[in-house]
Amino acid sequence: MALSVGLLGFGTVGQSVARLIVERNDGLLALTHIFNRDIARKRVDWVPPSVVWTERVEDVLDADVVVEVVGGLDPARRWHEAALDAGRPIVTANKQLMATHGHALLARAAQRGVDLLFEAAVGGGIPVVRGLREGIAGDRLTTVSGILNGTCNYILTRMESAGLAFDAALAEAQAHGFAEADPTDDLEGYDARAKLCILARVGLGLDLSPLDVPCESIRSISDDDFVYARRLQATIRQVSRVAIVDDSVQARVGPALVPLTSALARVIGSQNLIVAGGTYGRETTFAGYGAGGFPTAVAVVSDLLAIARRAGGAPAAWPDTSQPTSLTGLQVAPYYLRLVVRDQPGIIAGLASIFATHNINIDAVLQEPGGTKERLPFVITLEACPTAAMDKALVEIQTLPFHVTPPLCLPVLA
Amino acid sequence: MALSVGLLGFGTVGQSVARLIVERNDGLLALTHIFNRDIARKRVDWVPPSVVWTERVEDVLDADVVVEVVGGLDPARRWHEAALDAGRPIVTANKQLMATHGHALLARAAQRGVDLLFEAAVGGGIPVVRGLREGIAGDRLTTVSGILNGTCNYILTRMESAGLAFDAALAEAQAHGFAEADPTDDLEGYDARAKLCILARVGLGLDLSPLDVPCESIRSISDDDFVYARRLQATIRQVSRVAIVDDSVQARVGPALVPLTSALARVIGSQNLIVAGGTYGRETTFAGYGAGGFPTAVAVVSDLLAIARRAGGAPAAWPDTSQPTSLTGLQVAPYYLRLVVRDQPGIIAGLASIFATHNINIDAVLQEPGGTKERLPFVITLEACPTAAMDKALVEIQTLPFHVTPPLCLPVLA
Ligand SMILES: NC(=O)c1ccc[n+]([C@@H]2O[C@H](COP(=O)([O-])OP(=O)(O)OC[C@H]3O[C@@H](n4cnc5c(N)ncnc54)[C@H](OP(=O)(O)O)[C@@H]3O)[C@@H](O)[C@H]2O)c1
Ligand SMILES: NC(=O)c1ccc[n+]([C@@H]2O[C@H](COP(=O)([O-])OP(=O)(O)OC[C@H]3O[C@@H](n4cnc5c(N)ncnc54)[C@H](OP(=O)(O)O)[C@@H]3O)[C@@H](O)[C@H]2O)c1
């Protein structure tokens, strides 16, 4: 008997999931219900006529398993609770919900003895959730890092390769469907942060609250920064990272300089890449297409097949999690500081004295040709120093009178 | 109740598996039996005193699950059969056995209703077997390719980066424990071929016989070839690839030119990388440390945990497989042909006329400085042509009188 599947949401991912199930036609999965608001306009002729189209969530609970691909915290959370309480396993792509309420929902699923699977919530078609939970379960992982947001990566790699300004790269990403009309969640790092919290749960057994993870925007990256980065044999990526360091946890999402030779630098366009660092297996990497209807639907259907094939066994076991006793951002790093100033005597001397006060060593001062007296960009690189010291120095630097645009400070990752 | 684990084999991998289980100490797994020949000399003091050390395989069948990390076809096959017939699930790292007798053993395991898991047989700690079987099960995969042998990759990347000759790089690999005293299986491609057959089974549902997959040695690669490859913006890797093309299957293991910008070129040292190409999710990449006791043990322990957590459910479902109606090597490719000749007039004209006969177009002729009249290396690159045509041309070229060493012909991968 095929597992009957009810879809909550018939947007980009929902339609692709329906397509995959219909095209597979393998006797394991059968699409039986499609729920959406204003359902009439959603009807398509390529799903079997037996499918029930509905605007009532309860109808979908008649299916063996519920796929939630609507998104958002509410009403999605209530739907999840209702489905679990009715003994229905759930497969979802909803990263915000899993990042924010994953702990409670997984506990509820375990109580009811049903599955709540969410491979699609991180890295689209890349099987990293299962990879961390099962594939390298035998290791003791201490770090998870990577490029988790395809929109940011598309924008940054277009700035890098075509020399586009930020706004032009964003407009291009929107025109190509790689960025939404309101790109806030992507650019500010909220989307990547939700995914990072999910990976921290699955890989490191950490129960993080997304709002506690420091997040920096990529909006302040300029095309100049790519010129300087290249001079430093580096480029700029939105990097998400969580690490267990002794008894504390460090996590951060935001732009950073990464060496051109690193795996992160080589992630192009809307791709994603995740690196897990373990005690025994060293580094394991997962990469691929992190978004888009079909890659995401592959993850949803893979989860459905896992449920179909489980054949009465216990649901997937998720690792026990605990809240970290201490959660901070990055603690120590070398830094890249880009300034755009009105030229005047004593600028470097003033900066140098601030750094000296905070025990921060200057590594190099770089200036590309092409600036004007009225608008002079240059870069100072700083040796590894405590982030707290750098933050204090920055506050003082920002009060100096010569800035044309606010200074940009990025960590330099090894 | 912890799952009791019996080990067959206490060598590199077996000892690491034992260490991981002992160090986890998490109540899920308990090491109870260790089997090896001449067991007395194998005893170590860091395993619990309750462990039974034995030279009798039958003793190990008292454990809940058997880990086979001896290797080879015989007697391993008989041990597998005995364990499955006794209703014991098996976890193994034995790629030769799974490549050659995987079909029969998996059928036997299914009949007995027990698991036969082999994540460790391919890519060490990289969870690619599970990734293909479950993680992207929802996709329809058509290709699997990658770098599956860390020994070859170590040798080739050392030739590339340090300019070593083949023999020097091999000696270095042996000194560092990256190559065995008898490196035949690695260099000739037999090891990678076994892994490729396992991935073809798990990812593409193909039942291939390793002996049917064309395999070429890396022994004939010289340091000169890396100089020419670099001029072509490429490098040389041992590449394993299987693809479903219409109704037939193409598979090959052997050295090839790969672009410097490709993911394959960036796999350094003893690392492995596997790329799966699908209809819906496009390309998904898995990478990490493909060998070594601990990474391999991570895969074994991950499989053990999957069995421990399954808690009475059905064993893992493997895809149905079928034998290909047609299995060939590469069918069409651009080629790199390196010759070392005694210089004389008319060499190029003679080669050109052979290529013309076979309808093969010359792309370029390259010659680096430094050759002598007595030993003159040069390279001809050829536009994409049928492999059959290239093979015929090569036979004729080999009979020409001016060769100092046999010509080397490598496909150029996109
Ligand atoms: N797209 C991707 O590449 C991707 C990748 C990974 C994960 N995800 C996740 O997958 C989920 C779905 O994403 P998507 O791209 O498919 O979004 P989408 O195209 O906006 O689809 C959402 C669907 O849900 C419907 N919907 C929204 N609110 C509803 C409500 N209150 N009641 C009933 N129906 C409602 C929408 O109907 P209307 O047509 O009326 O708006 C739409 O059909 C999200 O959690 C997202 O984060 C997406
Ligand atoms: N090493 C790796 O990095 C790696 C990676 C992936 C997969 N694998 C696979 O893992 C398996 C084990 O590899 P390994 O590197 O651990 O090999 P190994 O170090 O040679 O260990 C094999 C062990 O089995 C014992 N043994 C061999 N034949 C036996 C027999 N007939 N009866 C009883 N005991 C026997 C050996 O005993 P002696 O000490 O008496 O020889 C040795 O202790 C192989 O299938 C290999 O392909 C290895």
Q: How far apart are CA A106 and CA A371, in angstroms?
A: 55
- Asked if residue A278 has its Cβ within 6 Å of ligand 1, the reply is no
Multiple choice CATH, B3-117, 2.60.98.20, 3.40.50.720, 3.40.50.620, 2.60.40.1120: 3.40.50.720
**Those residues with Cβ within 8 angstroms of residue A359's Cβ, 6 or more apart along the chain or in another chain:** A385, A389
Mean pLDDT of A312-332: 87
Amino acid found at B271: Q
What is the value of pTM for the model shown?
0.95
Distance B136 CA to ligand 2 centre (A): 31
Q: How far apart are CA A152 and CA A173, in angstroms?
A: 9
Q: How far apart are CA A192 and CA A148, in angstroms?
A: 5
**Those residues with Cβ within 8 angstroms of residue A191's Cβ, 6 or more apart along the chain or in another chain:** A95, A148, A149, A151, A185
Bridge-based pairing of strands B65-68 and B403-411 is unpaired
pLDDT one-digit tens code per residue, A147-170: 999 999 999 999 999 999 999 999
**Those residues with Cβ within 8 angstroms of residue B212's Cβ, 6 or more apart along the chain or in another chain:** B327
> Scanning the structure block, which residue is given the tokens 């100096």?
A400
For chain A, how far is it from start to end, CA to CA, in angstroms? 52
- CB interface of B with A, residues 233-262, below 8 Å: none
Distance A203 CA to ligand 1 centre (A): 26
Angle ∠(B244,B249,B251) on CA atoms, nearest 5: 105
Q: How far apart are CA A239 and CA A146, in angstroms?
A: 6
pLDDT for res B316 = 83
- Asked if residue A70 has its Cβ within 6 Å of ligand 1, the reply is yes
Q: How far apart are CA B167 and CA B129, in angstroms?
A: 33
Output the six-digit token pair for B169.
């790089």
Measured in angstroms, the CA of A371 and the nearest CA of chain B are apart by 33
Closest C-alpha to A387, from A356, A354, A360, A365: A360
Q: How far apart are CA B61 and CA B59, in angstroms?
A: 5
- What's the topology of domain A332-411? Alpha-Beta Plaits (3.30.70)
pLDDT for res B28 = 94
- Reported confidence tier of residue A312, pLDDT bands at 50, 70, 90: low
pLDDT for res B277 = 97
| CATH node for B128-290 | 3.30.360.10
pLDDT for res A311 = 61
Average pLDDT, chain B: 96
Output the six-digit token pair for A9.
């949401």
Closest C-alpha to A391, from A352, A326, A337, A325: A337
Report the residue from A127, A283, A295 with minimal CB separation from B131. Answer: A127
Residue A313: pLDDT over 80? no
The answer to whether A124 contacts chain B (CB < 8 Å) is yes
How far, in whole angstroms, is CA A174 from its chain's centroid?
Answer: 18
Partnered with residue A257 across adjacent β-strands are A236, A412
Residue A63: pLDDT over 70? yes
Residue A111: pLDDT over 90? yes
pLDDT for res A310 = 78
Which of A15, A67, A139 has the highest number of chain B CBs within 10 A, making it the mutation to test binding with B? Answer: A139
Given a contact cutoff of 8 angstroms between Cβ atoms, the answer to whether A299 and A166 are in contact is no
Given a contact cutoff of 8 angstroms between Cβ atoms, the answer to whether B187 and B152 are in contact is yes
- Asked if residue A95 has its Cβ within 6 Å of ligand 1, the reply is yes
pLDDT one-digit tens code per residue, A269-296: 989 999 999 999 889 999 999 889 999 9
What is the ipTM score, two decimals? 0.93
**Those residues with Cβ within 8 angstroms of residue A326's Cβ, 6 or more apart along the chain or in another chain:** A247, A248, A249
Q: Give the H/E segment covering residue A381.
A: strand A376-386
Mean pLDDT of A226-246: 97
Beta strands in B246-400 (DSSP E): 248-259, 271-278, 283-289, 327-328, 332-341, 362-366, 376-386
Phi/psi region, residue B288 (left: phi>0; alpha: psi -120 to 50; beta: rest), is: left
Residue ranges of domains in chain A: 3-117, 128-290, 332-411
Output the six-digit token pair for B252.
């090959």
pLDDT for res B311 = 61
Mean pLDDT of B270-284: 94
Distance A72 CA to ligand 1 centre (A): 8
pLDDT for res B291 = 87
Question: Given an 8 Å threshold on Cβ–Cβ distance, is A135 in contact with B130?
Answer: yes
Mean pLDDT of B369-388: 96
Distance B176 CA to ligand 2 centre (A): 18
Given a contact cutoff of 8 angstroms between Cβ atoms, the answer to whether B326 and B108 are in contact is no
- CB interface of A with B, residues 19-38, below 8 Å: 20
Bridge-based pairing of strands A271-278 and A141-147 is antiparallel
Residue B1: pLDDT over 90? no
Q: How far apart are CA A179 and CA A151, in angstroms?
A: 6
pLDDT one-digit tens code per residue, B124-165: 899 999 999 999 999 999 999 999 999 999 999 999 999 999
Q: Count of alpha carbons within 13 Å of A349, Cβ hemisphere only?
A: 4
Given a contact cutoff of 8 angstroms between Cβ atoms, the answer to whether A169 and A151 are in contact is no
Residue B81: pLDDT over 80? yes
Question: Given an 8 Å threshold on Cβ–Cβ distance, is B125 in contact with A119?
Answer: no
Q: What is the dihedral of CA B192, B198, B202, B204, to 10 degrees?
A: 70
Report the residue from B281, B285, B289 with minimal CB separation from A295. Answer: B281
- CB interface of A with B, residues 133-162, below 8 Å: 134-139
Output the six-digit token pair for B146.
């990658």
Mean pLDDT of A314-331: 89
Output the six-digit token pair for B107.
């059928």
Q: What residues of A are labeled active site?
A: 195
| A392 known member of a binding site | no
Given a contact cutoff of 8 angstroms between Cβ atoms, the answer to whether A37 and A11 are in contact is no
Residue A83: pLDDT over 80? yes
Mean pLDDT of B111-122: 96
Residue of A70, A94, A272 to test ligand 1 pocket, by largest number of atoms within 8 Å of CB? A70
Does A310 or A194 have the greater pLDDT score?
A194
Q: What residues of chain A lie within 8 A of the CB of B282, using their CB?
A: 125, 288-289, 295
- Asked if residue A124 has its Cβ within 6 Å of ligand 1, the reply is yes
Which of B5, B128, B279, B309 has the highest number of chain A CBs within 10 A, making it the mutation to test binding with A? Answer: B309
pLDDT one-digit tens code per residue, B283-322: 999 999 988 999 999 999 999 999 998 766 778 888 889 9
Q: How far apart are CA A398 and CA B269, in angstroms?
A: 45
